[in-house]
Amino acid sequence: MTLLHDSPTAVHERLMAEHSAHNYHPLPVVIADGQGVWVTDVEGRRYLDFLAGYSALNFGHRHPVLTAAAHRQLDRVTLTSRAFGNDQLGPFCTELAALLGKERVLPMNTGAEAVESGLKVARKWGYDVKGVPADRARIVVAAEAFHGRTISVVSFSTDPEARGGFGPFTPGFDVVPYGDAAALRAAITPETVAVLLEPVQGEAGVIVPPPGYLAAVREICTASNVLYVSDEVQAGLGRTGHVLATRAAGVDADVYLLGKALGAGIVPVSAVVADSDVLGVLKPGQHGSTFGGNPLACAVGRAVVALLAEGSLLEHTRAMGEVLHEGLRELLGHGTTAVRGVGLWAGVDVDPELGTGREVCERLAALGVLAKDTHGPTVRLSPPLVITEPELHTALTALRHALRS
């Protein structure tokens, strides 16, 4: 029942509390509108969006080029299923493959679907190409990783909250410490078909691997005839100032998993991208999706690819990243115990004397900046890539104040 004195925020929060599954603990902000790096809530308050949909909104809210592409396609056709072709699918796959320098694209919907699809492809490749005995394929993964919340992914998660109550779990995964090349090498067996890693661990707190680690992963995979599968769902498509964070380290993976920003926050779009000797193992009827590769998603994805291929946004991201990290370094010892990151992506560890990451995010929201905590003390910062230098300084000033409260 709505009470006369209830605020618009209270009304919406009550509806969510009563009728939405309680699988999230959002900040007490109800967003009604967004443009660029700014959002407005149902009370009319404006905020700088420093989460950007966990990198889904790399290009900001309602980017005019991307929304125009969606509007054009909405007026034509939005879904055909893969029982038929559509005039956006071929061009989307061709253009995305060219952007990444690979040969084939498997279009899906969400990032979690891209990861599940990548796991299936790796196993199929292991049996058909590498010759691993049936049902014996193993995949090496990293501790503290985040690849989604499906049963297979939580089967190898080291986060107790992600795993608790969801067993029995999918077998076939070996977990090693992130950043430890020696541990990875030791985990490889003749039955290993793939290594699945994030080039930067986002959910873990924006953990950047040590220098040379990704190159060592590439060397180990090549020497062991194992696929290197890079999950770039959060790290890719501009977040680090590069199309691919893996390539920024001078390394090429065999398989790339993309999502989030590929749909620009307009529609869910994801993809597995690899060469024909890998994705060619799939035959009709072995994998699919009714919505994967739909014309609306492909039209938006094509517009995203064109923006990234043009290059100026990546250059801008690298420049703004330097501003962000210079400002964050000044906070070391002044309310923070550690800062790290790359491009327009950072993890800030809060001094426990000032409270938790959640409490700092609540203070930030009161100051007009929206961010999200992770793993207790860490605040993640990932604004849309179109942010300007004055807007960055506004957010940094708010963070300084939030760390003094």
Q: Are 268 and 293 in contact (CB under 8 A)?
A: no
Give the type of residue at 366.
Answer: A
CA distance to 6, 12, 159, 214, 222, per residue, from 251 (Å)? 55, 46, 28, 7, 12
Task: Give just the sign of the alpha carbon dihedral 128, 132, 133, 135.
Answer: negative
Tell me the C-alpha distance between 136 and 121, whole Å.
15
Strands 378-381 and 372-374, bridge-based pairing = antiparallel
Give the list of residues 6+ apart from residue 274 with CB closer than 8 angstroms, or none.
102, 103, 104, 121, 254, 255, 256
Radius of gyration from C-alpha coordinates of the chain: 21
Which residue among the candidates 49, 231, 254, 349 is catalytic per the annotation? 231
- State the catalytic residue, choosing from 50, 59, 92, 146: 146
Distance, CA of 77 to CA of 64 (rounded, Å): 20
Question: Out of 102, 124, 260, 372, which one is annotated catalytic?
Answer: 260
Q: Which strands sit side by side in the sheet containing 372-374, from one edge to the other?
A: 336-341, 346-350, 378-381, 372-374
CA distance 166 to 212: 36
Q: Reply yes or no on whether 231 is catalytic.
A: yes
In which region does residue 46 sit, left (phi positive, over 0), alpha (psi from -120 to 50) or beta (all else)? beta
Q: Which residue has the tokens 């409270």?
A: 355
Has 159 been annotated as catalytic? no
Contact yes or no for 387/239 (Cβ under 8 A): no
DSSP state of 129: I
Q: Strand 346-350 vs strand 336-341: parallel, antiparallel, or unpaired?
A: antiparallel
According to DSSP, residue 158 is labeled -
Which sequence positions are flagged as catalytic? 146, 231, 260
